[in-house]
Amino acid sequence: MQDTVSPAQLRQRIREGLHTGNTSGLAPGYVQCNLAILPADWAGDFLRFCQLNPRPCPLVGMANAPGDVALPPLGDIDIRSDVPSYRVFRDGELTEEVSDITSLWRDDLVTFALGCSFSFEEALLADGLEVRNVSQGVNVPMYRTTIPCHPAGAFGGDMVVSMRPFRAADAIRAVQICTRFPSVHGAPVHLGDPALIGIEDLSRPDYGDAVRVDDDELPLFWACGVTPQVALERARPPFAITHSPGCMLVTDLRNSRLAVL
Amino acid sequence: MQDTVSPAQLRQRIREGLHTGNTSGLAPGYVQCNLAILPADWAGDFLRFCQLNPRPCPLVGMANAPGDVALPPLGDIDIRSDVPSYRVFRDGELTEEVSDITSLWRDDLVTFALGCSFSFEEALLADGLEVRNVSQGVNVPMYRTTIPCHPAGAFGGDMVVSMRPFRAADAIRAVQICTRFPSVHGAPVHLGDPALIGIEDLSRPDYGDAVRVDDDELPLFWACGVTPQVALERARPPFAITHSPGCMLVTDLRNSRLAVL
């Protein structure tokens, strides 16, 4: 698979079962999304949860109606087959991991596509900043915090954040760059002392991998797309589908188009 | 003196010798400037110094020609009388502090007006942030750093910074707000550990007053308009005039017009 493949070509390969893994670094320049699919009678609360918590749950697109498998503004998408790997949850428990959900599809399912940190990492890298999880070739470290989300129905809980370390001048630049991209988590929600947001040990992330933090660096914390997944597991809807970690929905939307200025 | 006085009214009072003190908080909403006046044969290097170091030396306006006492885009100004208090330097040494420089004026003097932190402090306060030096009613603490300026001719030296403490979320917001105002020092140049920029003890500023920094706060450091004054003292031109600290040139330019977006 070449890096220069278009989003449509990549989705075609995924649709045909020829690519079932991570989408990190593929179709560079294009928005990749977190995926959440819920029954219609749960979708209203989830939508309200996203609107109340735009930093961890930035809504980039959603289906026009229950049962719709298309997401027209994001490309020629069939949501049942165009994501490399899906996680299926029943009563809040992960029960299956599959590469196609056509056989599971129901006419009451509502699809949500949420912004993902790949977009702002690309903007940071393009500015010449070192993104530590990228340079170390590992998954970004993620942590549960004590920052409460605004609840909506059964959806609630605390925010999950991702962490990237920077020296101070680069930290300031990173705030500036990410501020331009509110629909992919935007500016950090915290920087400096991890204990102030309930993180006890940076070397022991709750998800992903630990990364090096040098003495002259500050940890920067961004609201993370794992937050809605945790809210989903906590809400325990009878049925739900998400993407598998790192296996994102690749869209035709350019990252640069997400910049508010 | 009412807060609601216009810049022109305030300058008129200053011109008549009726106001000779601090301009902090007066004519709110309008840009106040640091002042530097130099002989023409030193002005070229100083202009280049400002252009090379826009964070500490943001040029808001300058006279059209040597000897000009007007600064047309900034208001109906006579620079010889419209600043409450001036400092006169000869061979880099402060020799006089006066309220009018008409008798000292020469037809080779070039006037520079540089942005000042009052503008971004107003923007921070308008956003609901607490600016510690304002709430404590003291001068902002300022520190010499080990951040080198780019030299131009005899002008050079290290950057002076001002410090304001914030909790992390407010620090991030402060970076966002100040980024909109590059002509009044812009975003902070550093945050977090003071030692990384050569500051040994926050409680002992080189200029101004110490302020309280709480345990859950980070110090944020902005490039400071004292930097060009230090460069000026260091360059030791035979003759130079600046404003006295806190006694600024009040202009007709609205702070909001300095926002780049």
Task: Please state, rounded to an integer, the average pLDDT across all residues of chain A.
Answer: 96
Q: Is B148 on the interface with A (CB under 8 A)?
A: no
Cβ–Cβ below 8 Å for A187 and B172: yes
High-pLDDT (> 90) share of chain B, %: 95
Cβ–Cβ below 8 Å for B189 and A169: yes
Burial code (b: 16+ CB inside 10 Å, e: under 16) for A27-56 equals beebbbbbbbbbbeebbebbbebbeebbbb
CATH class of A7-116+236-258: alpha beta
Compute the nearest-CA separation of B24 from chain A (Å).
28
Cβ–Cβ below 8 Å for A218 and B168: no
Distance CA B147, CA A77 (A): 52
Q: Which of A166, A167, A172 to mutate to test the interface with B (most CBs of B within 10 A)?
A: A172
Residue A70 has pLDDT above 70, yes or no: yes
Burial code (b: 16+ CB inside 10 Å, e: under 16) for B97-120 equals eebbbeeebeeebbbbbbbbbbbb
Cβ–Cβ below 8 Å for A189 and B172: yes
Map out the domains of chain A as residue ranges.
7-116+236-258, 118-227
Compute the nearest-CA separation of B176 from chain A (Å).
6
Residue B231 has pLDDT above 80, yes or no: yes
Compute the nearest-CA separation of A196 from chain B (Å).
7
Compute the nearest-CA separation of A170 from chain B (Å).
9
- Please name the fold of domain A118-227: PSTPO5379-like fold (3.30.2040)
Distance CA B85, CA A166 (A): 43
Q: Is B134 on the interface with A (CB under 8 A)?
A: no
- Tell me what pLDDT residue A1 has: 45
Q: Is B196 on the interface with A (CB under 8 A)?
A: yes
Residue B225 has pLDDT above 50, yes or no: yes
CB B49 within 8 Å of CB B152: yes
Q: Is A172 on the interface with B (CB under 8 A)?
A: yes
Residue-wise pLDDT for A11-54, tens only, equals 999 999 999 989 988 999 999 999 999 999 999 999 999 999 99
Residue-wise pLDDT for A74-112, tens only, equals 999 999 999 999 999 999 999 999 999 999 999 999 999
At residue B3 the predicted structure's pLDDT band, cuts being 50, 70 and 90, is: low
Query: What's phi and psi for B9, nearest 5 deg?
Result: -65, -40
CB A131 within 8 Å of CB A27: no
What CATH code would you report for B7-117+235-258? Answer: 3.40.1640.10
- Tell me what pLDDT residue B146 has: 98
- Tell me what pLDDT residue B1 has: 45
Distance CA B12, CA B21 (A): 14
Residues of B in contact with A189 (CB under 8 A): 169, 172
User: B 204-243 residues with CB below 8 A of A?
Assistant: 216, 218
pLDDT (average), residues A211-240: 96
Cβ–Cβ below 8 Å for A192 and B168: yes
Nearest to A179 among B176, B190, B193 (CB): B176
Compute the nearest-CA separation of B117 from chain A (Å).
18
- Of all residues in chain A, the one with the smallest CA distance to B172 is A175
pLDDT (average), residues B208-227: 97
Compute the nearest-CA separation of B47 from chain A (Å).
25
Q: Which of B166, B167, B172 to mutate to test the interface with A (most CBs of A within 10 A)?
A: B172
Residue B2 has pLDDT above 80, yes or no: no
Residue A3 has pLDDT above 60, yes or no: no
Going by C-beta distance under 8 Å and a sequence separation of 6 or more, which residues neighbour residue A12? none
Residue A235 has pLDDT above 90, yes or no: yes
Nearest to B175 among A175, A218, A261 (CB): A175
The kind and range of the H/E element at A46 are helix A40-52
Three-class secondary structure assignment of A221-260: EEECCHHHHHHHHHHCCCEEEEECCCCCEEEEEEHHHHCC
Residue-wise pLDDT for B79-99, tens only, equals 999 999 999 999 999 999 999
- Tell me what pLDDT residue B4 has: 76
High-pLDDT (> 70) share of chain A, %: 99
Which tokens sit at A103?
């056989």
Residue-wise pLDDT for A155-178, tens only, equals 999 999 999 999 999 999 999 999
Count other Cβ atoms within 10 Å, centred on residue B215: 6
